Chains A and B, each alone.
Chain A
Amino acid sequence: MRNQSKYLLLITILLAIYYLVCGIYLNHLGYFSQEAMFYVEKSKIVVDGLGNRLKVMGLTAPIIPFYTSFLFSFSKYTAMIAPIIASSLCTAILFFMIGSALLKRAKDDFYLLVLLIIFLFHPGILYAACSGKSIALVLVFFFMFFFNLLKFYRSNTTFHVSIASISLVLLIFCDYKFIWLTLFFIPLVLSITVKSLNLGEQESIFRLFISFNNPSLRRKLINKTFALYIILFVLPLACIICYKLLNLTHAQDLNYFSESPYATWTVLADKLSFDQLSTSTVYQIPETSILISARILLFCPLILVAIYMFRNSTYQILTLLTPFAFVEFLHIKYEKVFLVNEYYMIFLVLALLCIFYKAQTIKNQTLLKTIVGLLTLVQLYTGYIFLKNSSITEERNFITVLLNRTPDTHQDQNRELADYINHLPDGSHVLVDDAIAFPIVTFSKDIRKLTLPYQGAYLSAIESPDKYDDYVLLATPKNEVTGFTQLNDKYVPVVKKANSALKLHRVYETDDWILYKVFD
Chain B
Amino acid sequence: MSIPELLVNDGFISWQDREKINDLSAKTGQSFIKIALSFGYISRKNYDRSLSNAGYVFREIRELAYDPEVIAKTELKFADQHLALPLRIENGKVITVMADPSNQLFIDFIRFTYDCEPEIILASDLDVTWLSHKLAGDKYVKSAVFELLNRDPASSAFITFSTGQLAFLFILLGLVTIGLVVSFKNTSIIINILISTFFLVAILFKLFLALTGSRFELHQAVTREDLRELKEDELPIYTILLPVYKEDKLIKKLIWNLQALDYPREKLDIKLLIEEDDDKTLNAVRNLDFPAIFEVVVVPFHMPKTKPKACNYGLHFARGKYLTIYDAEDIPDTDQLKKVVSMFGKLPSNYICIQSALNYFNRNENFLTRMFTLEYSYWFDYMLPGLDTLDIPIPLGGTSNHFKLDSLVELGAWDPFNVTEDADLGLRAYAKGYKIAVVNSTTYEEANNEPINWIRQRSRWIKGYMQTYLVHMRNPVALWRKLGWKGFLGFNFFIGATPLTFLVYPFLLAIFISYLVFDLSTIRTLFPDWILFMSIFNLMVGNILMIYINMMAVFKRRYYELILFSIANPVYWLMHSISAFKGLYQLIVKPFYWEKTEHGLSKVNSPTNIVK
Residue ranges of A at the interface with B (Cβ–Cβ < 8 Å): 52-54, 57-58, 155, 157-159, 161-163, 165, 223-224, 226-227, 230-231, 234-235, 238-239, 242, 246
Tell me if B593 is interfacial: C-beta within 8 Å of chain A. no
**A162 near B540: Cβ-Cβ < 8 Å:** no
- In the complex, what residues of A have CB within 8 A of residue B556's CB? 157-158
- In the complex, what residues of A have CB within 8 A of residue B217's CB? 157-159
Tell me if B529 is interfacial: C-beta within 8 Å of chain A. yes
**A231 near B551: Cβ-Cβ < 8 Å:** yes
With A54-B532, A54-B533, A158-B217 given, name 7 new contacts (CB 8 A): A158-B214, A159-B217, A162-B548, A162-B552, A226-B563, A230-B551, A230-B555
CB distance from B612 to the nearest CB of A (A): 13
- In the complex, what residues of A have CB within 8 A of residue B529's CB? 52-54, 57
Least CB separation from A156: chain B residue = B218
**B536 near A58: Cβ-Cβ < 8 Å:** yes
CB distance from A515 to the nearest CB of B (A): 30
- In the complex, what residues of A have CB within 8 A of residue B215's CB? 157, 159
Tell me if B235 is interfacial: C-beta within 8 Å of chain A. no
Bound CA span A163–B214, Å: 10
- In the complex, what residues of B have CB within 8 A of residue A234's CB? 548, 551
Least CB separation from A228: chain B residue = B555
Bound CA span A52–B524, Å: 12
Cβ-defined partner of B561 (8 Å) among A158, A159, A223: A223
Q: With A54-B529, A155-B218 given, is the CB distance from A231 to B544 under 8 Å?
A: no
Bound CA span A235–B544, Å: 7
Bound CA span A238–B547, Å: 11
- In the complex, what residues of B have CB within 8 A of residue A224's CB? 560
Tell me if B211 is interfacial: C-beta within 8 Å of chain A. yes
**A159 near B214: Cβ-Cβ < 8 Å:** yes
- In the complex, what residues of B have CB within 8 A of residue A54's CB? 529, 532-533
Question: What are the nearest 3 A-B pairs in CB distance?
Answer: A227-B560, A159-B214, A223-B560
Tell me if B564 is interfacial: C-beta within 8 Å of chain A. yes
Bound CA span A158–B544, Å: 17
- In the complex, what residues of B have CB within 8 A of residue A238's CB? 544, 547-548
- In the complex, what residues of A have CB within 8 A of residue B544's CB? 235, 238-239, 242
CB distance from A46 to the nearest CB of B (A): 9
Q: With A53-B529, A54-B529, A58-B536 given, is the CB distance from A157 to B552 under 8 Å?
A: no
CB < 8 Å A-B pair total: 64
- In the complex, what residues of A have CB within 8 A of residue B211's CB? 159, 162-163
Least CB separation from A227: chain B residue = B560
Least CB separation from A54: chain B residue = B529
Bound CA span A226–B560, Å: 8
A-B contact pairs, 8 of them (CB 8 A): A52-B529, A57-B529, A157-B217, A157-B218, A158-B214, A159-B215, A159-B552, A230-B555
Q: With A53-B529, A54-B529, A234-B551 given, is the CB distance from A246 to B214 under 8 Å?
A: no
Residues from 548 to 570 in B contacting A, C-beta threshold 8 Å:
548, 551-553, 555-556, 560-561, 563-564
**A230 near B214: Cβ-Cβ < 8 Å:** no
- In the complex, what residues of A have CB within 8 A of residue B541's CB? 239
- Residue among A54, A155, A163, A224 facing the most chain B CB atoms (10 A cut-off): A54
CB distance from B384 to the nearest CB of A (A): 15
**B555 near A227: Cβ-Cβ < 8 Å:** yes
CB distance from A54 to the nearest CB of B (A): 4
- In the complex, what residues of B have CB within 8 A of residue A159's CB? 211, 214-215, 217, 552
Question: CB-CB contacts of B208-243 with A at 8 A, as 1s and 0s?
Answer: 000100110110000000000000000000000000
CB distance from A74 to the nearest CB of B (A): 15
- In the complex, what residues of B have CB within 8 A of residue A223's CB? 560-561
**A58 near B533: Cβ-Cβ < 8 Å:** yes
Cβ-defined partner of A246 (8 Å) among B536, B552, B563: B536
Residue ranges of B at the interface with A (Cβ–Cβ < 8 Å): 211, 214-215, 217-218, 529-530, 532-533, 536, 540-541, 544, 547-548, 551-553, 555-556, 560-561, 563-564
CB distance from B82 to the nearest CB of A (A): 55
Least CB separation from A159: chain B residue = B214
Least CB separation from B217: chain A residue = A157
- In the complex, what residues of B have CB within 8 A of residue A165's CB? 548
Bound CA span A155–B555, Å: 14
CB distance from A168 to the nearest CB of B (A): 12
Least CB separation from A52: chain B residue = B529
**A162 near B214: Cβ-Cβ < 8 Å:** yes
CB distance from A223 to the nearest CB of B (A): 4
Q: With A57-B533, A224-B560, A246-B540 given, is the CB distance from A231 to B214 under 8 Å?
A: no
- In the complex, what residues of B have CB within 8 A of residue A235's CB? 544, 548
- In the complex, what residues of A have CB within 8 A of residue B218's CB? 155, 157
Bound CA span A159–B548, Å: 12
CB distance from A458 to the nearest CB of B (A): 17
CB distance from B378 to the nearest CB of A (A): 11
**B552 near A242: Cβ-Cβ < 8 Å:** no
CB distance from A410 to the nearest CB of B (A): 34
- In the complex, what residues of B have CB within 8 A of residue A58's CB? 533, 536
Least CB separation from B564: chain A residue = A230
**A158 near B560: Cβ-Cβ < 8 Å:** no
Bound CA span A234–B215, Å: 20
**B533 near A230: Cβ-Cβ < 8 Å:** no
Bound CA span A161–B218, Å: 14
- In the complex, what residues of A have CB within 8 A of residue B548's CB? 162, 165, 234-235, 238
Bound CA span A159–B552, Å: 8
Bound CA span A161–B556, Å: 11
Least CB separation from B212: chain A residue = A159
- In the complex, what residues of A have CB within 8 A of residue B552's CB? 158-159, 162, 231
**A158 near B555: Cβ-Cβ < 8 Å:** yes
CB distance from A236 to the nearest CB of B (A): 10
Least CB separation from B561: chain A residue = A223
CB distance from B562 to the nearest CB of A (A): 9
Bound CA span A223–B547, Å: 19
Bound CA span A224–B217, Å: 18
CB distance from B325 to the nearest CB of A (A): 30
- In the complex, what residues of A have CB within 8 A of residue B547's CB? 238
- In the complex, what residues of B have CB within 8 A of residue A57's CB? 529-530, 533
Bound CA span A279–B566, Å: 53
Least CB separation from A242: chain B residue = B540
Bound CA span A188–B564, Å: 21
Least CB separation from A245: chain B residue = B540
CB distance from A167 to the nearest CB of B (A): 12
Bound CA span A462–B532, Å: 29
Least CB separation from B213: chain A residue = A159
Bound CA span A54–B530, Å: 7
CB distance from B64 to the nearest CB of A (A): 62
Bound CA span A125–B465, Å: 53
CB distance from B209 to the nearest CB of A (A): 13
Bound CA span A234–B551, Å: 10
Bound CA span A54–B555, Å: 37
CB distance from B238 to the nearest CB of A (A): 32
Least CB separation from A155: chain B residue = B218
- Residue among B214, B215, B560 facing the most chain A CB atoms (10 A cut-off): B560
Bound CA span A3–B536, Å: 44
Bound CA span A240–B560, Å: 24
Bound CA span A226–B548, Å: 15
Bound CA span A256–B533, Å: 17
- Residue among B541, B547, B551 facing the most chain A CB atoms (10 A cut-off): B551
Bound CA span A52–B541, Å: 22
Bound CA span A227–B541, Å: 21
Bound CA span A158–B563, Å: 13
CB distance from B228 to the nearest CB of A (A): 23
CB distance from B389 to the nearest CB of A (A): 12
**A227 near B563: Cβ-Cβ < 8 Å:** yes
- In the complex, what residues of A have CB within 8 A of residue B555's CB? 158, 161, 227, 230-231
Least CB separation from A58: chain B residue = B533
Least CB separation from A243: chain B residue = B540
CB distance from A276 to the nearest CB of B (A): 37
- In the complex, what residues of B have CB within 8 A of residue A161's CB? 555
CB distance from B200 to the nearest CB of A (A): 14
- Residue among A54, A158, A165, A239 facing the most chain B CB atoms (10 A cut-off): A158
CB distance from A304 to the nearest CB of B (A): 33
